[in-house]
Structure 1
């Protein structure tokens, strides 16, 4: 079990992006970024239910969402949407390949 470490908002966005691209492989993502499995799972679930704003650490004195520039919010959301699109494209390619293999067998 890996002990958790402090992460920035940008790191959490990057970790969730990687996890989504890897078909939600939490163990691999946790190992690569040296964070706990539970934390990766939690961040990914929060993103999927509440969006990119849920990845904000609301403890202590941090920038509020109102204080964040619109560009910062959009960049983070854009990264995550790119990861989601990449995953969907991989799924489409996989299904096409599977269909091709099934046609060869027939």
Structure 2
């Protein structure tokens, strides 16, 4: 079994083209390009479903605002408001503590 390696988008496109040209022979493609069988299979499946866009590495990237559903937009907005509320509560608590310390000194 070949261990997977990092590949660029151009390499993935080349690998998929080779695989398709060779009647989807995943094992032969994996051996030739020194990538795992599973990776070739996955890339081919993604390419057939979404084209070149499916081959892009989008790990760690969220959806764009246009891709979000209404519920997802509301959840994101809710998260932002909750974070803002926590920040404001921390500021209030800090100011209260500061006033208490100042009262003790005088």
Assess same fold via TM > 0.5. Answer: yes
> Under a length normalisation based on structure 1, what TM-score does the superposition of the two structures give?
0.55
Q: CA deviation at 1:59?
A: 2.3
- Residue 18 of structure 1 is matched in structure 2 by 18
Task: Give structure 1 stretches of 5+ with no counterpart.
Answer: 62-106
Q: CA deviation at 1:60?
A: 4.9
Distance in 2, Cα, partners of 1:59 & 1:8: 14
Task: Give structure 2 stretches of 5+ with no counterpart.
Answer: 62-106
Larger Rg: 2
Distance in 2, Cα, partners of 1:55 & 1:34: 18
Give the number of aligned pairs.
62
Distance in 1, Cα, partners of 2:59 & 2:51: 18
> Under a length normalisation based on structure 2, what TM-score does the superposition of the two structures give?
0.55
Q: 4+ runs of 1 displaced by more than 6 Å?
A: none
- Coordinate RMSD, CA, aligned: 1.5
- Residue 6 of structure 2 is matched in structure 1 by 6
